[in-house]
C-alpha cells in the first residue's frame, strides 16, 4: 500500500487553515482592486525560451521543465515547456503579445501559483502563491508609480494587521553608477550584486571576503563605505559623497528623492519606510528602484514583499519600450511563517454559519426549503443529510464551528416552526418558518 504524503516543498492546509489563508488572499486582493489594478491570469506553463530569456541569478537553475509522457526518451537539448518561476516574466510576454489590445499604463494584479526547484526546507517552497501587482508603461513610466506601489504595500500590510513593518527602498542605479566610478565591469557588477544581496543572511565579513575574489581592497572598502550610510541619521543626504560625476548615480539619487517627496503627500507614517543602500535584489532584470519589506518584530522571516523597476524585460519579445515596476508577496511562505509564530487568527466559525440537522429523512422537503430561504438571504448554511443520532450531529456542528443548529421534527413540522440552537450561548428558541431568516440575521 502506498503511504499518502505530499511532494516535499508543497503546502497543504486543513480546512480552518485554508479559511485563514483565503482570508489573507482576499484582503490582499481587495487592496489591489481598490487601487485600480485589474486581474490577470497566465498559463501555468510557458515556453522554455520565454522563461530563460532574462531570469538571472540562481533562478535559472530552479526551473521545472514540463515533458509530456509521449516525449520521454526523445533526445532533445531543452524541453519546449517549463513551469513559471515567477509572474513577472509571463506578464512581460503577455503585454508584448497583446500590446495593441491594452491601454497604457497597464495596471494588473495576479495571484497564482509559481514553481521553483528550491531545496526542501521549512518555510521554503517549490510550489507557492505569489500575489503580484505591476504597472507597465509604453516608452516611459513616471517614477510616481514606484511611490504608488510603496503606498500600496503600506495599505496591504496595515490591512493584514500582522504587526509593525518597514518598507526598505533603494535604487540599483546607485550601484551601477558607483561601480562605474570604481571601474568595475558589467560582468563583475552582476557577481558583486548577488553577494551584496546576501549581506543580511551571511554578514559583512563573509561578503567582504567574497568581493575580494573580484575586487581590490580599495574597491571593496569604498563599496562598504556606501553600504554603511544606512546607519547614518539621513542616509539620502550622505549620497552626495559618492560618485559625484556619474550621471547614472545622480539619476538614482534624484528618483529616490522624488519618491520620498510623493510619499509625503500620501501622509504615511514615515517610520514605516526607509532608504536602505544594502537592498540589491538578486534578479538581474531590476534596473532602478528596488523594494523589500520586513516585519520589525520578526526579522528572521526575511522579506515579506519585494519588487522594483525593470526597464528592459520585454525587449526580448517586442521592439517597443515597455518599462515596468512591480511588487510581489510570497503568500504561501508568509502564511507559514506567521502561523508558526502564532500570528494567524483562525476564523471562529466554518465557511457556513448554520447547520440544518437531519432528525428524519421524511422531512427532507422542509430541510431543503429552509436551506433555500437562508441562501436567498445570503446566510451560509448546509444540511446534514444523514439521520444520525442527534448527539453525533451536535458533535459534528461543534467541530465545524457553525454558530446555529436548526432542527425540524414532528412537532416543528406540525407547528411550522424550527428549533434554533445558538451553539455559542446555548440559547434555544422556536421560530416560525417565515421568520427564520430575519431571526438569524439579527445575530449574524
Q: What does 316-373 look like in DSSP terms, one character per residue?
A: GT-SS---EEEEEEEHHHHHHHHHHTT-----SS-S-SEEE--S-GGGHHHHHHHHHH
Number of Cβ within a 10 Å radius of residue 284 = 18
- The yes-or-no verdict on residue 244 having pLDDT over 90 is no
Per-residue pLDDT tens over the stretch 337-361: 999 888 888 876 677 899 999 999 9
Mean pLDDT of all residues in the chain?
Answer: 90
Angle at the Cα of 194 from the Cα atoms of 171 and 134, rounded to 5 degrees:
50
Angle between helix axes 331-340 and 15-34 (nearest 10 degrees) is: 130
pLDDT at 443: 87
pLDDT at 144: 97
Confidence of residue 170 (pLDDT cuts 50, 70, 90): very high
**Alpha carbons 327 and 292: distance in angstroms, whole number:** 9
Contact criterion met (CB below 8 Å) for 307 and 283: no
Confidence of residue 365 (pLDDT cuts 50, 70, 90): very high
Mean pLDDT of 129-144: 96
Mean pLDDT of 365-390: 95
Mean pLDDT of 244-260: 94
**Alpha carbons 292 and 282: distance in angstroms, whole number:** 12
**Buried b vs exposed e over 118-143: b needs ≥16 C-beta within 10 Å?**
eeeeeeebbbbbbbbbbbbbbeebeb
The candidate with the shortest Cα–Cα distance to 168, out of 291, 288, 263, is: 291
Strands 354-356 and 324-330: unpaired
Number of Cβ within a 10 Å radius of residue 231 = 8
Whether cis (ω within 30° of 0) applies to the bond prior to 105 is yes
Mean pLDDT of 351-372: 93
Mean pLDDT of 362-366: 93
User: Residue 192 contacts by C-beta under 8 Å, 6 or more apart in sequence?
Assistant: 179, 184, 211, 214, 215, 223
CA 52 to centroid of chain Cα atoms: 23
Residue with cell 528602484: 289
Considering only residues 74 and 113, tell me which one the structure prediction assigns the higher pLDDT: 113
Per-residue pLDDT tens over the stretch 13-69: 988 899 999 999 999 999 999 999 999 999 999 998 888 875 445 566 788 888 887
Contact criterion met (CB below 8 Å) for 359 and 333: no
User: In the chain, what is the straight-line distance between the N-terminal and C-terminal CA atoms, in Å?
Assistant: 47
pLDDT at 428: 95
Q: What percent of the chain has pLDDT over 90?
A: 61
**Alpha carbons 303 and 200: distance in angstroms, whole number:** 11
Give how far Cα 61 sits from Cα of 9, 272, 333, Å: 16, 35, 20
Q: What percent of the chain has pLDDT over 70?
A: 94
Contact criterion met (CB below 8 Å) for 370 and 418: yes
pLDDT at 419: 96
The grid cell for 155 is 495599505
pLDDT at 275: 93
**Alpha carbons 18 and 50: distance in angstroms, whole number:** 33
Per-residue pLDDT tens over the stretch 266-302: 988 888 999 999 888 765 678 999 999 999 999 888 8
Confidence of residue 312 (pLDDT cuts 50, 70, 90): confident
The candidate with the shortest Cα–Cα distance to 333, out of 121, 116, 124, is: 124
Give the strand order in the sheet containing 81-83.
Answer: 45-47, 81-83, 65-66
Which of 179-193, 375-389, 405-419 is predicted with the least confidence, judged by mean pLDDT? 179-193
- In the chain, % helix, strand, coil (3-state, to 5) comes to 45, 20, 35
pLDDT at 328: 96
Confidence of residue 71 (pLDDT cuts 50, 70, 90): low
Helix (H) or strand (E) holding 112: strand 106-115
Contact criterion met (CB below 8 Å) for 167 and 156: no
pLDDT at 404: 96
**Alpha carbons 433 and 417: distance in angstroms, whole number:** 5
Global pTM reads: 0.87
Amino acid at each position: 500500500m502506498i503511504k499518502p504524503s505530499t511532494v516535499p516543498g508543497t503546502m497543504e492546509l486543513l480546512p480552518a487553515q485554508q479559511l485563514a489563508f483565503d482570508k489573507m488572499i482576499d484582503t490582499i486582493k481587495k487592496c489591489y482592486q481598490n487601487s485600480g489594478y485589474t486581474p490577470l491570469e497566465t498559463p501555468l506553463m510557458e515556453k522554455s525560451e520565454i522563461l530563460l530569456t532574462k531570469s538571472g541569478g540562481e533562478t535559472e537553475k530552479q526551473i521545472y521543465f514540463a515533458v509530456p509522457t509521449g516525449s520521454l526518451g526523445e533526445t532533445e537539448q531543452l524541453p519546449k515547456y517549463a513551469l513559471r518561476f515567477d509572474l513577472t516574466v509571463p506578464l512581460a510576454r503577455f503585454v508584448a503579445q497583446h500590446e495593441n489590445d491594452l491601454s497604457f499604463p497597464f495596471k494588473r494584479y495576479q495571484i497564482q501559483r509559481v514553481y521553483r526547484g528550491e531545496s526542501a526546507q521549512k518555510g521554503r517552497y517549490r510550489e507557492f502563491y505569489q500575489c503580484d501587482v505591476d504597472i507597465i508603461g509604453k516608452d516611459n513610466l513616471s517614477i510616481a508609480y514606484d511611490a504608488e506601489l510603496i503606498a500600496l504595500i503600506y495599505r496591504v500590510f496595515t490591512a493584514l494587521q500582522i504587526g509593525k513593518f518597514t518598507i526598505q527602498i533603494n535604487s540599483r542605479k546607485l550601484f551601477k553608477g558607483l561601480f562605474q566610478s570604481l571601474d568595475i565591469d558589467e560582468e563583475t557588477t552582476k557577481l558583486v550584486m548577488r553577494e551584496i544581496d546576501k549581506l543580511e543572511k551571511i554578514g559583512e565579513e563573509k561578503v567582504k571576503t567574497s568581493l575580494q575574489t573580484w575586487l581590490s581592497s580599495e574597491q571593496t572598502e569604498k563599496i562598504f563605505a556606501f553600504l554603511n550610510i544606512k546607519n547614518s541619521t539621513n542616509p539620502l543626504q550622505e549620497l552626495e559623497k559618492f560618485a559625484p560625476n556619474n550621471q547614472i548615480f545622480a539619476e538614482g539619487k534624484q528618483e529616490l528623492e522624488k519618491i520620498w517627496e510623493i510619499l509625503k503627500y500620501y501622509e504615511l507614517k514615515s517610520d514605516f519606510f526607509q532608504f536602505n543602500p544594502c537592498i540589491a535584489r538578486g534578479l538581474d532584470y531590476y534596473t532602478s528602484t528596488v523594494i523589500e519589506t520586513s516585519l520589525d518584530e520578526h526579522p528572521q522571516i526575511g522579506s515579506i514583499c519585494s519588487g522594483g523597476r525593470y526597464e528592459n524585460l520585454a525587449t526580448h519579445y517586442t521592439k517597443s519600450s515597455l518599462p515596468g515596476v512591480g511588487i510581489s508577496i510570497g503568500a504561501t511562505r508568509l502564511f507559514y511563517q506567521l502561523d508558526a509564530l502564532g500570528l494567524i487568527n483562525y476564523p471562529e466559525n466554518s465557511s457556513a454559519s448554520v447547520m440544518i440537522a437531519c432528525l428524519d429523512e421524511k422531512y427532507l422537503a422542509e430541510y431543503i426549503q429552509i436551506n433555500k430561504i437562508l441562501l436567498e438571504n445570503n446566510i451560509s448554511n448546509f444540511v446534514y443529510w444523514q439521520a444520525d443520532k442527534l448527539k453525533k450531529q451536535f458533535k459534528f456542528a461543534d467541530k465545524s464551528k457553525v454558530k446555529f443548529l436548526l432542527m425540524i421534527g414532528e412537532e416543528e413540522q406540525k407547528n411550522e416552526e424550527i428549533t434554533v440552537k445558538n451553539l455559542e450561548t446555548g440559547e434555544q428558541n422556536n421560530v416560525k418558518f417565515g421568520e427564520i431568516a430575519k431571526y438569524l440575521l439579527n445575530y449574524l
